[in-house]
Amino acid sequence: MGEVTVVGADDGKRFQQFVEFPYQHYRGHPYWVPPLRMAQWDLLDKSKHPFYKHAEMQCFLAVDGAQVVGRVAAILDRSQFSQDRVGFFGFLEMIDSGPVANALLRSAWDWLRSRGAKVMRGPVNPSTNYECGLLVDGFNSSPFVMMTYNFPYYSSLVERAGLNKAKDLLAYLTTAAATDGDRAMRVAKYRMDKSGVKIRHVNKKNFKAEVESIWSIYNSAWSQNWGFAPLTQEEFQLLAKDMKEILAPEFALIGEIDDRPIGFALALPDINRALKAAGGSLFPFGLIKILYHKRRIKTLRVMALGVIEEFRTTGVAAGFYATLIRQAQKLGYGECEFSWVLEDNILMNRSIESLGARRYKTYRLYEGTYHYA
């Protein structure tokens, strides 16, 4: 390897190389799932995506001569910055090289520090509301929808570059058939009846109003969680619009007391099974492959469950789990992933384990506060 150079990659050919690098880097890998290129372009479009109305981002490429050997983005989210002055890195991909990792992370840190950051954390793509975390355990299967995948050597390179573990995010796996949905519902129903909780499906005919209710719950229920990044209404609506295409109403739930929404739960069919076949492109045959495989998907990711703090003892969380399980059984779903859960969220981890789920993947967020070697 020659001398590694880091260059900005915010427009033109360099930006295209930034987007394309993972498709070359993981080409032929049995577990990596190529995201749709058009979705990546949309997510990284600082002139159009609503995330960048409250954030700045600088993309970097590591090059060795004419060859791209890595990428990273430095991200400054003003909605979080004023409180703890944390900057972020994300979209990290690299060959197995210490000099490449050092150069990329140093460039991201220097950019963030020059803007007042006191610590750098990541990876987030571009915040914890999207894909985030470095996979450090569980490399022998493909990720579920909106979860990440990377080569096993990434964690050692990041740690040797000077970053330390900030928090682990856990993923659990079970099967619908292995869980006693009726028993779970009996336990939940007793508490919900006492509290007056009702659980219903999201009404797709009144989708905009439903999304507004869920957005309010989301920012309230997660506001005290470690690493929480508030979502603007515009961001949330865009995420909801994207998810609506694969949303099954049976797996989008709202909990209410006296018609007041107090919590929600969301599980998505694992569209990654279809995206993998498309190879990242809709044309010429990607769309046909996605539509074909989409009909055959019988795996599910339980990706969000939130309850406003004052209502967390009403049994609604248990009711959500029980309802999702019974619906999955009824519709013939097999594997179900619960992800991600903070490692120190003891109550949530115990609840998931009580359903018979096993921890099978670990994702890690790193952070550092100093120059890299």
User: Each residue of 151-208: pLDDT tens digit?
Assistant: 999 999 999 999 999 999 999 999 877 777 677 778 778 788 888 999 999 988 888 8
Task: Give domain status of residue 84, yes or no.
Answer: yes
| Predicted confidence (pLDDT) at residue 122 exceeds the cutoff of 70 | yes
What is the per-residue pLDDT for 373?
46
Specify whether the CB–CB gap between 328 and 155 falls below 8 A.
no
Tens digit of pLDDT for each residue in 216-250?
999 888 888 888 888 999 999 999 888 887 888 88
Do 187 and 92 reside in the same domain of the chain?
Answer: no
DSSP state, residue 23:
H
Residue 350 has pLDDT above 60, yes or no: yes
For 317-343, what is each residue's pLDDT tens digit?
889 988 998 899 889 999 999 999 999
**Around Cβ 60, how many Cβ atoms within 10 Å?**
26
- pLDDT at site 285: 46
Asked whether residue 369 is domain-assigned, the answer is no
State whether 233 and 214 are in the same domain. Answer: yes
Structural domain contains residue 138: yes
Q: Which domain holds residue 340?
A: 174-364
Q: How far apart are CA 222 and CA 169, in angstroms?
A: 15
Same domain assignment for residues 192 and 288? yes
Instruction: Return the closest-CA partner of residue 298 out of 266, 271, 338.
Output: 271
Q: What is the per-residue pLDDT for 221? A: 86
Helix (H, G, I), strand (E, B) or coil at 215: helix
DSSP letters along 139-205, please? -SSPPPTT-----TTHHHHHHHTT-EEEEEEEEEEEEGGGS-HHHHHHHHHHHHHHHTEEEEE--GG
Question: In 29-160, where do the E strands start and end?
Answer: 55-64, 67-77, 86-94, 119-122, 124-125, 131-132, 134-137
Q: What is the pLDDT of residue 60?
A: 98
Identify the weakest region by mean pLDDT among 66-75, 139-148, 196-205. Answer: 196-205
Residue 53 resides in a domain: yes
Per-residue pLDDT at 313: 85
- In one-letter notation, the amino acid at residue 136 is V
Residue 282's nearest CA partner among 61, 109, 66, 40 is 40
Are the C-beta atoms of residues 196 and 340 closer than 8 Å to each other? no
In whole numbers, what is the pLDDT of the chain averaged over residues?
Answer: 89
What gap in Å lies between CA 105 and CA 90, rounded to an integer? 10
- Are 188 and 74 in the same domain? no
153 and 258 within one domain:
no
95 close to 70: Cβ distance less than 8 angstroms: yes
* Predicted pLDDT of residue 141: 97
What is the maximal distance between C-alpha atoms in the chain? 69
- For residues 365 and 168, give the distance between their C-alpha atoms in angstroms, rounded to a whole number: 6
Buried b / exposed e over 269-306, threshold 16 CB at 10 Å, is: bbbbbbbbbbebeeeeebeebbeebbeebebbbbbbbb
pLDDT digits (tens, 9 = 90+) for 295-322: 678 899 999 998 998 998 888 888 998 8
Report if residue 373 sits inside a domain. no
State mean pLDDT over 17-38.
95
Instruction: List the helix and strand counts (H, then E) for the chain.
Output: 12, 15
Is the model's pLDDT at 67 over the cut of 90? yes
CATH number, domain of 26, equals 3.40.630.30
The tally of domains found in the chain comes to: 2
- Please indicate, yes or no, whether residues 156 and 188 belong to a single structural domain of this protein: no
pLDDT at 4 over 80: yes
pTM: 0.92
Weakest mean pLDDT among 35-49, 276-290, 302-316: 276-290
